[in-house]
Structure 1
Amino acid sequence: MNDSLSAGTIMITGHGGDEIEAYLARPQGEQRRGGVVVIHHMPGYDRATKEIVRRFAELGYDAICPNLYYREAPGAAPDDAAAVARAAGGVPDARLLGDAAGAAAHLRALPGSNGRVGVIGYCSGGRQAVLAACSLDLDAAVDCYGAFVTGTPPEGFPLRITNLVAQLPQLRAPLLGLFGAEDKIPGPEEVAELERILTAHGKDFEFHSYQGAGHAFFSVDRPSYNVAAANDGWERITAFYAKHLGA
């Protein structure tokens, strides 16, 4: 644990060469280390997400969160930017991949990088983390209750997305999945389907479901926060990244 760190807003090159906002946190010191791309949840690039970025820096990683809604609403408050993005159907998958690739490239170019980069996402970001791990050169991925990795979005769902069943055979990185047993999106049946698909294709993964926890149990600023599930989840994330990224 390293509580001496630097953090702040920077600009990085994302999809299509666009300059987008991102939040970067780095531990002090010269030790070589891995990096973590944090993909924010549907409510956006908010204070709680930036706290997660800083927590990874405290754990010894360079960590970055690209603002996926920057193009729609530069400078807007997180809730306002999220509303604009939802009204537009959400972040297109191709653009997400370009922004995540840009964030990973930025981490690998930092002094002290050991070249290994993981990705983690929450809520809609969990699905996007799995998508990134199927498509990009990453070393580890964490899916925190990502909706519609499997399953089908209901009629009227605000995001124009499909599930990732067709992409899952191409999963390129070890995957840690953390889910709430009381969650509805994804529900236990969707998690079981994901487990069956990954097992059938011989993928490296581990899943944990928490009894009594619903969706967004990591969200410290929301009623859904579940202390026991979040604390155990953080321990598992810490061990998983230490194994695959080094710190």
Structure 2
Amino acid sequence: MDDRLLAETVTITGADGAELEAYAARRLDPAPRGGVVVIHHMPGYDEATKEMVRRFAAEGYNAVCPNLYTREAPGAAPDDAAAAARALGGVPDARLVGDVAGAAAYLRGLENSNGRVGVIGHCSGGRQAFLSGCSLDLEAAVDCYGAFVTESVPEGVPVRVGPIGHLAKDLSCPLLGLFGAEDKHPDPQATAQLEELLKEHGKEYEFHTFPDAGHAFFAVDRPAYRPQAATEGWKLVLDFFGRHLATA
């Protein structure tokens, strides 16, 4: 097996024809592969997120992460770009959908694409992964502790978005949700509300809540990291994508 990887910065076309910086990784052999759009968290287009992109390539997928803050702070360090985006209330939902659509088009345009694309995001990216699954034609979506899907943004949180649970009726693909029982945003009540909406509309989903984990338990570079939950979470993600993104 040829296990060589190519990881590089590329340019993709996002919403309204904007050129966005993105980080892409893929195997170099020609075997047909599914693609994964990785949506970075609010702290930005950082090294930890790029490592996730490389992990998906090592696991056999084509993967790409668009820099959602390219417009606000082109070329800036992740912390500075995230601060600039927060000052403007975060990424507008309509623009996010267009940027993810551009990332999916990039993956489907690769010579070894099998045409199947999934999306995954953590924190704000988890909400945006759910939004993408409800707005685009995708084969799989993974929401890792996405906040403000069914609940409103509390006062003092620097994002201007509203609940999107009502979009559950439009979900185009199976959804995997990974949550922490000790999380506050989303808390278990918010997760249960989303589950009820998915049941109401007959959507295919599977939710897993880890009892000793809170928000950001996947983040290896943060105090919230929980190795056991993250390890099990990765197994669930790879099994889920393996079932839904493999060549038919």
| TM > 0.5 fold call | yes
CA-CA distance at 1:3 after TM superposition: 4.7
Segments of structure 1 that go 5 or more residues without pairing to the other structure are none
CA-CA distance at 1:87 after TM superposition: 0.3
CA-CA distance at 1:2 after TM superposition: 7.2
Match of 1:82 in 2: 82
CA distance in 1: counterparts of 2:214 and 2:3, whole angstroms: 31
Q: In angstroms, what is the RMSD of aligned CA positions?
A: 1.1
Scaled by the length of structure 1, what TM-score is found?
Answer: 0.98
Using a 3 Å threshold, how does the CA distance of structure 1 residues 2 and 63 change in structure 2: closer, same or farther? farther
Scaled by the length of structure 2, what TM-score is found?
Answer: 0.98
**Secondary structure of the corresponding residue to residue 166 of structure 2:** coil
CA distance in 2: counterparts of 1:101 and 1:26, whole angstroms: 19
Using a 3 Å threshold, how does the CA distance of structure 1 residues 22 and 30 change in structure 2: closer, same or farther? same
Segments of structure 2 that go 5 or more residues without pairing to the other structure are none
Using a 3 Å threshold, how does the CA distance of structure 1 residues 70 and 2 change in structure 2: closer, same or farther? farther
CA-CA distance at 1:156 after TM superposition: 2.6
CA distance in 2: counterparts of 1:20 and 1:76, whole angstroms: 13
Opposite residue 57 of structure 1, the aligned amino acid is A
Match of 1:215 in 2: 215
Opposite residue 231 of structure 1, the aligned amino acid is T
Opposite residue 113 of structure 2, the aligned amino acid is S
Match of 1:25 in 2: 25
CA distance in 2: counterparts of 1:142 and 1:227, whole angstroms: 19
Using a 3 Å threshold, how does the CA distance of structure 1 residues 2 and 218 change in structure 2: closer, same or farther? farther
CA distance in 2: counterparts of 1:226 and 1:156, whole angstroms: 27
**Secondary structure of the corresponding residue to residue 217 of structure 2:** coil
Match of 1:155 in 2: 155
8 Å contact from structure 1 (residues 2, 59) kept in 2? no
Match of 2:134 in 1: 134
8 Å contact from structure 1 (residues 38, 53) kept in 2? yes
**Secondary structure of the corresponding residue to residue 71 of structure 1:** coil
**When the two structures are aligned, how many residues end up with a matched partner?**
247
Provide Cα deviations, 1:57-94, integer angstroms capped at 9, x if missing partner: 00100000000001000010000000000000000001
Opposite residue 221 of structure 1, the aligned amino acid is D
Match of 1:237 in 2: 237
**Secondary structure of the corresponding residue to residue 217 of structure 1:** coil
**Secondary structure of the corresponding residue to residue 225 of structure 1:** coil
Give runs of aligned pairs for residues 179-190 of structure 1, distance below 5 A. 179-190=179-190
**Secondary structure of the corresponding residue to residue 37 of structure 2:** strand
Opposite residue 171 of structure 2, the aligned amino acid is L
Opposite residue 106 of structure 1, the aligned amino acid is Y
- Of all paired residues, the percent bearing the same amino acid is 65
Provide Cα deviations, 1:32-72, integer angstroms capped at 9, x if missing partner: 00000000000000000000000000010000000000100
Provide Cα deviations, 1:89-146, integer angstroms capped at 9, x if missing partner: 0000011000000000000000110000000000000000000000001000000000
